[in-house]
Amino acid sequence: MNLPPKDLADLKEAKVLLENPGLAAKITNVIGTPIEKAFDLLPSGWSDAVGASTRKALEIAMNSALFTLRHGEKRQAANIMHRVVAAGLGAAGGFCGLPGLSVELPVSTTVMLRSIADIARSEGHDLNDPAVKIACLEVFALGGPGAQDDGAETGYFAIRAALAKTINDAVNHLAVKGLSETSAPALVRAISQISSRFGLQVTEKVAAQSLPLLGAAGGAVVNSLFIDHFQSMARGHFIVLRLESIHGSEIVRQAYTSVEEEE
């Protein structure tokens, strides 16, 4: 089955968004310094601090944003507004450095999750649907290849396949138990798997913000790139999910694999 021209064009747009260069390349293009060099400037123990902060940030965002989202009228996503807020938070984070990560990251992640949900709604998805709520969280695992990636398959559908059982378990838990058991094993496993991938992107953000000459202004720029990157991931992800709901997942996956990106 061939997709209608409009749906095929949408799928092509989604692939461009999802498969383009990762966050590290985008940051490097703006600040002019390879992220790898910035890693050397971070203090000892930074990796543990980033890992703990990333997981905590997703837990806070899940409880304070994800589970309070309500479906509303479909409208254009307010990407710029969320980007401005994230930039302001990044300025504060850049000023405080690594010690401020535990405070800045949960707030930034919550803002990003609300932006992701806003994008999902703009694509016609129902935010009351447990599958859509978990799909919003899943976007944080779709950040693309990182500068310190372990070489594992990082393609969009490969990541979704790796997360599939965990995501399905989390959706089933929400559908049956609702919000009464947010610390249930199914949700804990989902947070754990997603945070392990999200942490790669957070590491790059922290490294860039740690460069001596960037400071608060640089932190704002990096955080703006950070949220812009995940807004793109969300847009691509929810286009694909919308098309899957119409045509079926296998047809969309085959079309995605075969479609040629524009130069």
Of 229, 20, 245, 242, the closest CA to residue 139 belongs to 229
What is the reported pLDDT for 159?
92
What is the reported pLDDT for 237?
97
The DSSP secondary structure of 147-207, one letter per residue, reads: TT--S----HHHHHHHHHHHHHHHHHHHHHHTTTTTTSHHHHHHHHHHHHHHHHHHHHHHH
What is the reported pLDDT for 156?
92
Are 195 and 138 within 8 A, CB to CB?
Answer: no
What is the reported pLDDT for 162?
93
Length of the chain as a residue count: 263
What is the reported pLDDT for 244?
97
Cα–Cα distance between 251 and 29 in angstroms, integer? Answer: 36
Are 210 and 41 within 8 A, CB to CB?
Answer: yes
pTM (2 d.p.)? 0.84
- Region of residue 146 (phi > 0: left; psi between -120 and 50: alpha; otherwise: beta): beta
Reading the chain (263 residues) residue by residue, the pLDDT tens digits are 589 999 999 999 999 999 877 777 777 776 666 677 777 777 777 777 788 888 888 988 888 766 666 666 666 676 667 666 666 665 555 545 556 666 778 888 888 898 899 899 999 999 889 999 999 999 999 876 554 554 445 689 999 999 999 999 999 998 887 666 666 888 889 999 999 899 888 888 877 777 665 555 566 777 788 888 899 999 999 999 999 999 999 999 999 988 864 43
